[in-house]
Amino acid sequence: MQQKYKPLFETFTFPNGVDIKNRLVLAPMTHYSSNEDGTISEEELAYIKVRSKDFGTIITACANVTENGKAFYGQPGIFSDEMLPGLKKLAKTIQNEGAKANIQIHHGGFQCPPELVPNRDVVSASSTKEGVRSLQHDEIKEIIKAFGDATKRAIDAGFDGVEIHGANGYLIQQFYSPHSNIREDQWGGTNENRMRFPLEIVDTCQEIIEKYANKPFILGYRFSPEEPSTPGLTMTETFALVDALANKPLDYLHISLAEALSAPHRGAAQTNLSRVELIRDVINERVPLIAVGSINTPDQALEVREKNIPLIAFGRELLIAPRWGQLVMNDQLEEIEYILQLKEKDKYQLPENLWKKIENREGWVPFER
């Protein structure tokens, strides 16, 4: 390995004492390949196995914590103990390759297709979209508890941690956003009230960990920093949320970005810093930060790492080059692929439904026919 890339492969210790072998993280990517009932399929085990060999931390595709939180066809579930046998296989498959296994827990809110939701009863913070019902207070408390129940299942399944999915416009973000939350009760209105839902989920998950985990268990939180809508989340609201989260006993925060070093749009003072650097400064070393977003080459990863970002996540590049880490370590940089070759389908070990998505969404994952 070239000396300059060694910072990507240094060991790291989370605040709770869990050690990982390097700074590389597999980002949670939807693979559309779980069984129809939400149980884990053999296809996704094969997909995750090869991508767990070289990275220190693997974050699995988001798993819905309630039946009415399912946002994708082929999404894994974690809302029932019936999922445990498959979840145990998933955790063990990752760990057998030397990586830590974190499962992302999630509720889709108004992004759930009605046909995937019992009785087509799609819910959110507010009924701001046609066909979407505003959650009642008791239902909100039930969903918060469901995140805790999902954390207990992750512990029982042998995972090393959970990542709370508060990003990408799903239910947790829907509660914090002034665009999608127009409530006037304790769950809406002020910034503090809109923040109540995500913070109570963090507290509930942490309580479950303290009660049931018999070894250090990782708790992470993923967030999106800005929304294009007005009203909507700007860096101002995100700074407030991040500050509150950084005071919680989290083991990392994970910023969801399309471009890791992209500039802020709204709510930040005039600055030459990227959004991830601004968030880093707000955190002020209280909790580790994971950055993600179009990081493909070793030099791109190194550039982010050199911004004093401790952990670097890879998404679509790992679909194309599942052994990216090994190639960097072996100084085989010329063998790293950045474009999927459709005629060489078998070598990528991608689930069939994910392969079809790639073919049908030109521009999402670069490919040549």
Number of domains present in the structure of the chain: 1
pLDDT number for residue 363: 86
Question: If you average pLDDT over residues 145-169, what whole number do you get?
Answer: 98
Residue 369 pLDDT > 90: no
Output the DSSP codes for 140-163: HHHHHHHHHHHHHHHHHHT-SEEE
For the chain, give the percent of residues with pLDDT over 90: 98
Question: If you average pLDDT over residues 61-71, what whole number do you get?
Answer: 98
Residue 113 pLDDT > 80: yes
Residue 306 pLDDT > 80: yes
Q: Which of 217-231, 235-249, 262-276 has the lowest mean pLDDT?
A: 262-276
pLDDT number for residue 187: 98
Residue 270 pLDDT > 80: no
CB atoms within 10 A of CB 295: 26
Q: What is the pTM of this model?
A: 0.97
Residue 152 pLDDT > 80: yes
Residue 29 pLDDT > 80: yes
Question: If you average pLDDT over residues 33-55, what whole number do you get?
Answer: 97
Q: Do the beta carbons of residue 314 and residue 293 sit within 8 Å?
A: no
Question: If you average pLDDT over residues 92-97, what whole number do you get?
Answer: 98
Question: If you average pLDDT over residues 297-316, what whole number do you get?
Answer: 98
Task: Give the rounded distance of the alpha carbon of 59 from its chain centre.
Answer: 7
86 is in which domain, residue-wise?
3-368
pLDDT number for residue 68: 98
Average pLDDT of the chain is: 97
Question: If you average pLDDT over residues 153-174, what whole number do you get?
Answer: 98
pLDDT number for residue 269: 85
Tokens of 166: 């508060």
CA gap 56, 242 in Å, rounded: 24
CATH number of domain containing 343: 3.20.20.70
List CB contacts of 221: < 8 A, sequence separation 6 or more: 163, 164, 166, 198, 202, 245, 250, 252, 253, 254
Residue 174 pLDDT > 80: yes
Question: If you average pLDDT over residues 212-219, what whole number do you get?
Answer: 98
Question: If you average pLDDT over residues 133-156, what whole number do you get?
Answer: 98
Task: Please return the burial class of 158, using the count of CB atoms within 10 Å of its CB with bins 0-12, 13-18 and 19+.
Answer: middle
